[in-house]
Amino acid sequence: MGCVLMNSIDISWPLSAGVTTYKNKGDFKTAATRNWQEHHARESSIYIGSHTGTHVDAPAHFLEQGKTIEHTELSRLIGKAQVIDLGFIETEGITREHLERISLNAPRVLLKTKNSLLDPEADFNPEFIYLEKSGARYLADQGILSVGIDYLGIERLQPAHETHQALLEHDIAIIEGLRLGCVPEGLYTLVCLPLALMGTEAAPARAVLLADQAL
């Protein structure tokens, strides 16, 4: 999809046959159900994990009584958003200390890290930069509506899923699988639209950043 800067910036993970999947699960496939040679038309079917590519997690993902994705208000995913460049973090998680230094000016926060440099078709990288629980709690304390990160998970090595817990307990929508390599730090209008799935704990999504003049 490249780095074409037009009226909108596509920050979605391209869903190709070789797409990186979480822990190399390989849960993405398309197949032709009608083809040109036989039908003079093309149609396809898609098999996709709910956490494949760009997607939104709802509270039901990690909370026993959590709401499913159709209850995630779209207003959490549409509106003013801040892209924060944390490319200086080499290996560890994003902590409260990292985030406290930054002036938060939007209720939707997109964390740009060196994850965005990874090839979107590479093998899964278990060393990805993640949001550590203290960072998640800090963002929840700030009353944010949603948070996005540029890898297929937002946490790792936290057995009780504390990052997800800290966010989902406040109904904060978690956007995983963004691609922010082409996006300078700053303020944008985010539109992230998950498929209108009923009853699942997450949904694949497409996400763009808009310039105001695009509308």
Which residues contact a second copy (rule: CB under 8 A)? 1, 6-8, 10, 12-17, 27, 30, 33, 36, 40-51, 53-54, 60-62, 64, 70, 73-75, 78-80, 161, 189, 191, 193-202, 204-208, 210, 212, 214-215
Between 135 and 153, name the residue whose CB sits nearer to a second copy.
153
* Beta pairing class for 28-34 and 146-149: unpaired
Residue closer to a second copy by CB (options 132, 201) is 201
**Closer residue to a second copy in complex, CB, 86/145:** 145
**3-state DSSP assignment of residue 121:** coil
CA distance 44 to 34: 7
The distance of closest approach from Cβ of residue 99 to a second copy in the complex, given in angstroms and rounded to an integer, is: 25
CB 48 within 8 A of CB 75: no
Quote the least distance from Cβ 142 to a second copy, whole Å.
Answer: 21
Q: How far apart are CA 190 and CA 77, in angstroms?
A: 7
Q: 129: exposed, middle or buried (C-beta count within 10 Å: 0-12, 13-18, 19+)?
A: buried
Q: How far is the CB of 52 from a second copy (least distance, A)?
A: 9
Catalytic residue among 51, 61, 98, 164: 61
| Shortest spacing between CB 21 and a second copy, in angstroms | 12
Of residues 53 and 148, the one with the C-beta less far from a second copy: 53
**Looking up tokens 């026993």, which residue turns up?**
64
Asked if residue 157 lies in contact with residue 119, where contact means CB atoms within 8 angstroms, the answer is no
Whether 61 sits among the annotated catalytic residues: the reply is yes
Q: What is the largest CA-CA distance in the chain?
A: 61
Which residues are annotated as catalytic? 61
